[in-house]
Amino acid sequence: MIDETDAAGETPDDGDPSGETSATDAADGTSATDAAEPAEPPKAGVLTAIAAFARTHRLPLMIAGGVVALGLLGTGAVVAGVAGSGGRAASAALSTSTAPTPTVDPARPAPAAVATASRLRTCSVADRAADGRLANFQAQVMNAATGEVLYDRGGTTASRTASVMKVLTSAAALSVLGPDYRAATTVVKGSEPGSVVLVGGGDVTLSRTSTGTETVYPGAAHLDDLAAQVEAAWAADPSNPPLTKLILDASYFSGDEWEPSWALKERDDGYMSNITALMVDGDRDDPGANTSGRSADPVGRAGDAFASELGGVSVVERGVAPAGAAQLGQVQSPTVAQLVDKALVVSDNTVAEMLARLVAIETGAGNTFGAINAGVLQGLAAYGIDTTGVTVVDGSGLSDNNAVPPSYLTRLFVKINAREGNLGVLMDGLPVSGVRGSLGYDDRFSGDNAVADGAVSAKTGWIDTGYTLSGVVRAQDGSTLTFAIYALGEVTGEAKQAIDTLATGFYLCGDNLSNQ
């Protein structure tokens, strides 16, 4: 509603003064001779009397006449001044004699600036949003080109995100570490004769499989390569005794290995490992399976595998590398760009935790779970979006204690879509409806929702208490939308189809999406 306020300024009218002139009649004195003259007709008599008076009072009349003439001339000059050069004076008088300035009542609020009315949008998704499978529903949709929020349902309320949290983790890693960063695993000489120290640098992708074997992590380093380097360096010094002891240094990460708010079933079901700075194959039982059982001792599994590669090692124990120890070998992880792709496209939880922890360390926040919030928020600060209300408990999104409003995601995805900084890496790593990753599975964007195949690039999320989806829609009308959908609470797997149906509605409506 546009309020219009009209103010009328009124100038009081000035009354015109009226002047009255009083005439004083003086009695004429007449001579006896004049009185004896025959009577004249009235008109002639008057003229005769005037003439006689003039003859008798000639001098005084001359003086009086001059005075009157001068008075008339003066009056004419004043009138001419007003009509002539006085026209300018009158004009000046009008320009300075304006309506009185109204006094503003301080108790009366000033009218607000009239907002520009947005156009009426008529494409509704109300029926799709009313689907009970969405449970406690939150969502926001923004036009990426204009920044206008087209649709909002609890968009500013911070809630758990499930694996959509990996978008924030990846964005922070690309900001803090950069796309080309690699984590190193190193072997150094131990302080005891015949000992070496395997030093974990946070690379969860390091593989115990033979070099050339493809694991779930493309580009992963292999322990056999690292062992070969160590053996060659050890043999190059004839003074070295045989290798008999392996020390495992996982001190790069500290604190809890399992975030207290995570459900242990995530490890038992093969979705998450304990988080340590030294492990192999994400601590999977099967290095070639994304979902695979994990152990309770990732560091021990890595140590046993490396001791086997070295041969002759009789003692394996935990410890810390001596300061300044000579390096015997080193291998490196895939790049952050490759790790972001893995974290997003198949929602790898362990890789996401690796990235979050490395960000916390690089920013100086610390090397524990408790440092992740400060580290990730510092990394996100580079994008200039207000993080008020955002809480980052982990890098993967498994915790119910994470909190991010949908409105933060719609704004971050505007920058991701624009490929700001290194965010093009993140954009390229997203699942795509009906095409790639977790949105390419048979149960996503199927049936009528297949009309949006290839049009939705977004991160999926799933925990026991919610399903989420957030990303970019290339809409049917050519507009680009950013969106976030949360279905939280008592949910089942059918929430995924309800979310896809709503996202398809966004695709069909485009910039004509109504907030009704």
Q: Which residues of 362-394 are buried (b: 16+ CB within 10 A; e: fewer)?
A: bbebbbebebbbbbbbbbbebbebebeebebbb
Whether residue 510 contacts residue 479, with contact meaning beta carbons closer than 8 Å, is answered with: yes
Question: Three-class SS of residue 95?
Answer: helix
d(CA 6, CA 3): 10
- The residue annotated as part of the active site, out of 159, 347, 438, 479, is 347
The answer to whether residue 347 is catalytic is yes
Tell me which DSSP letter residue 185 carries. Answer: E
Contacts of 88 (CB under 8 A, 6+ apart): none
- The residue annotated as part of the active site, out of 166, 245, 415, 496, is 166
The answer to whether residue 166 is catalytic is yes
CA distances to 246, 275, 303, 312, 319 from 307, in Å: 7, 21, 6, 8, 15
Place of tokens 């925990």: 463
- The residue annotated as part of the active site, out of 159, 163, 292, 457, is 163
32 Rama sector, left if φ>0, alpha if ψ -120 to 50, beta otherwise: alpha
The closest alpha carbon to 460, from 492, 435, 486, belongs to 486
d(CA 505, CA 511): 11
Q: Token digits for 279?
A: 């492990």
d(CA 319, CA 248): 6
Please give the helix or strand (H or E) that residue 149 lies within, else none: strand 149-153
d(CA 496, CA 479): 24
Contacts of 395 (CB under 8 A, 6+ apart): 165, 166, 169, 352, 353, 354, 355, 356, 357, 372, 376
Q: Token digits for 19?
A: 């002047």
The angle, 0 to 180 degrees and rounded to 10, between the axes of the packed helices 336-345 and 349-362 is 140
CA 282 to chain centre: 33
d(CA 508, CA 327): 59
Catalytic positions, written as ranges: 163, 166, 347
